[in-house]
């Protein structure tokens, strides 16, 4: 496919996403299945165009005076990809499956492309209904935080301490030009290319050997700061596919007991193979038999650390899932807040006196972070917050610079602040 034909395809996929309010991945998959002529490079390029357009949906729509897919793609090409007008016009020639030629209005808007005068939520590319919450969390820096969330994300990996060292993995992947992570001692970073794509790390021999896992540096960092130590009893209460479980096993040096569970047993399915590949020998996966079943009842009150990777809106991952921010609705936020309250109560029953609960979200919204902790402390006797500065002091490395990002109860990471996905961590201690 020509570059122009790929743009036409991206406009078609966006139309499907917007009309049917469906995940971008589903729309892209269906498009590819019905267009067998499109090769893997074509599909990847079209996906990159679609996701880039969704990153800047609000600001592009404002600048182009249109929320139609064509206008969003034009705005993305001018704004995010910074293509000059003549190059955009050449792509929109109307020939050989290219989109129709630019209109006079489109040419004028592209020539004067700007979001000047737009509402703050538009400039930040944050959903309008979420803007008061987002602004409440970041104040005068909210627009800059939103714009950072609308940028492309790098690819990070976590070196598996159980099998490799960072220098060795750095050398093995030198052909992909990795950079050491800025915060996590186990992180390597790969910048996206011009088309937004990064290297295919999951085809590397080191991945199959368990030397590393794909994991955002922010996710690595909050797991490290949770405070797991060798020899402890640790529970990963919302383990999902197990990214943080595997990181915990490495931090514990395969000494102690590590339990992984999730209310949705289907999410645990990939964990078994990942554990085997990683060499983590202390992980015990507990599968709930039903919604009300507690698979960890036999270790209640015994855990040194309960890590709660709480269900949330995922606003901190909008760089990687830009379609998700335009699909989230107030009802979903309310449901996640309810889930967070329930899982914190559950964690309090599992942690031992003197033990710690590490509450983590991949959210940028105060309702899911500080406000969730405040509400829990108001309901739950016997738990007290651990000051963020004390969380940092207890870490294995010097993370004192992160104290700048302390909130009332925890630490808020973000693309603008730390170059990572948006993660929140708060630690609580159960009284002796």
State pLDDT tens for residues 192-206: 877 677 889 999 999
Cα gap 160→124, rounded to integer Å: 36
Q: Is 304 annotated as a binding residue?
A: no
pLDDT of residue 62: 97
pLDDT of residue 202: 94
pLDDT of residue 197: 76
Half-sphere exposure of 361 (CA within 13 A, CB side): 30
Residues 114 and 225 in one domain: no
SS3 call for 275: helix
Would you call 362 a catalytic residue per the annotation?
yes
Is 71 domain-assigned?
yes
Is 275 domain-assigned?
yes
pLDDT of residue 193: 78
Cα gap 422→363, rounded to integer Å: 6
Domain boundary among 102, 118, 134: 118
> Which residues in the chain show pLDDT less than 70?
195
Percent helix, strand and coil across the chain, each to the nearest 5: 50, 15, 35
> What domain range includes position 46?
3-118
Q: What's this model's pTM, rounded to 2 decimal places? A: 0.94
Is 333 domain-assigned?
yes
Residues 231 and 106 in one domain: no
> Hey, how many other C-beta atoms are within 10 angstroms of the C-beta on 61?
20
Is 167 domain-assigned?
no
Q: Is 309 annotated as a binding residue?
A: yes
Is 174 domain-assigned?
no
Residues 287 and 422 in one domain: yes
pLDDT of residue 192: 85
Q: What CATH number is associated with residue 93?
A: 1.10.940
pLDDT of residue 136: 94
Q: What CATH number is associated with residue 226?
A: 3.40.50.150
**Looking at the 3D structure of the chain, how many domains does it have?**
2
pLDDT of residue 320: 94
Contact (Cβ atoms closer than 8 angstroms) between residue 139 and residue 414: no
Is 161 domain-assigned?
no
Is 138 domain-assigned?
no
Q: 238, 312, 362, 427: which one is catalytic?
A: 362
End-to-end CA distance of the chain: 66
Cα gap 328→350, rounded to integer Å: 31
Dihedral of CA 126/130/136/137: which sign?
negative
């Amino acid at each position: 496919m020509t570059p122009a034909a790929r743009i036409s395809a991206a406009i078609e996929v966006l139309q499907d996403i917007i009309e049917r309010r469906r995940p971008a991945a589903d729309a892209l998959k269906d498009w590819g299945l019905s267009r067998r002529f499109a090769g893997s490079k074509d599909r990847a390029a079209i996906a990159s165009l679609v996701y880039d357009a969704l990153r800047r949906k609000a600001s592009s729509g404002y600048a182009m005076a249109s929320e139609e897919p064509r206008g969003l793609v034009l705005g993305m090409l001018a704004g995010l990809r910074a293509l000059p007008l003549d190059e955009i016009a050449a792509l929109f020639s109307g020939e050989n499956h290219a989109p129709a030629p630019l209109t006079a209005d489109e040419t004028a808007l592209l020539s004067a492309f700007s979001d000047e005068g737009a509402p703050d939520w538009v400039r930040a590319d944050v959903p309008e209904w979420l803007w008061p919450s987002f602004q409440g969390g970041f104040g005068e820096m909210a627009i800059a935080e939103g714009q950072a969330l609308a940028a492309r994300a790098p690819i990070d990996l976590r070196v598996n301490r159980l099998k490799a060292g960072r220098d060795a993995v750095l050398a093995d992947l030198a052909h992909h030009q990795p950079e050491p992570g800025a915060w996590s001692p186990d992180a390597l970073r790969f910048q996206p290319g011009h088309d937004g794509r990064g290297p295919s790390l999951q085809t590397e021999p080191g991945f199959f050997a368990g030397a590393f896992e794909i994991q955002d540096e922010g996710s690595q960092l909050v797991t490290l700061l949770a405070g797991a130590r060798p020899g402890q009893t640790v529970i990963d209460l919302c383990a999902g596919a197990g990214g943080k479980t595997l990181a915990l096993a490495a931090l514990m040096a395969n000494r102690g007991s590590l339990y992984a569970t999730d209310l949705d047993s289907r999410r645990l399915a990939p964990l078994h193979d990942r554990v085997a590949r990683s060499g983590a020998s202390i992980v015990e996966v507990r599968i709930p038999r039903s919604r009300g079943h507690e698979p960890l009842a036999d270790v209640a009150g015994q855990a040194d650390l309960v890590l709660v990777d709480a269900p949330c809106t995922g606003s901190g991952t909008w760089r990687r899932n830009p379609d998700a921010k335009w699909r989230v609705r107030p009802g979903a936020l309310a449901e996640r807040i309810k889930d967070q309250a329930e899982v914190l109560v559950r964690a309090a029953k599992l942690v031992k006196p003197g033990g710690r609960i590490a509450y983590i979200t991949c959210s940028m919204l105060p309702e899911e972070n500080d406000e969730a902790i405040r509400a829990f402390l108001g309901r739950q006797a016997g738990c007290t917050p651990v000051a963020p500065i004390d969380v940092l002091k207890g870490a294995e490395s010097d993370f004192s610079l992160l104290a700048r990002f302390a909130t009332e109860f925890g630490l808020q990471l973000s693309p603008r602040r730390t170059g990572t996905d948006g993660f929140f961590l708060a630690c609580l201690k159960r009284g002796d």
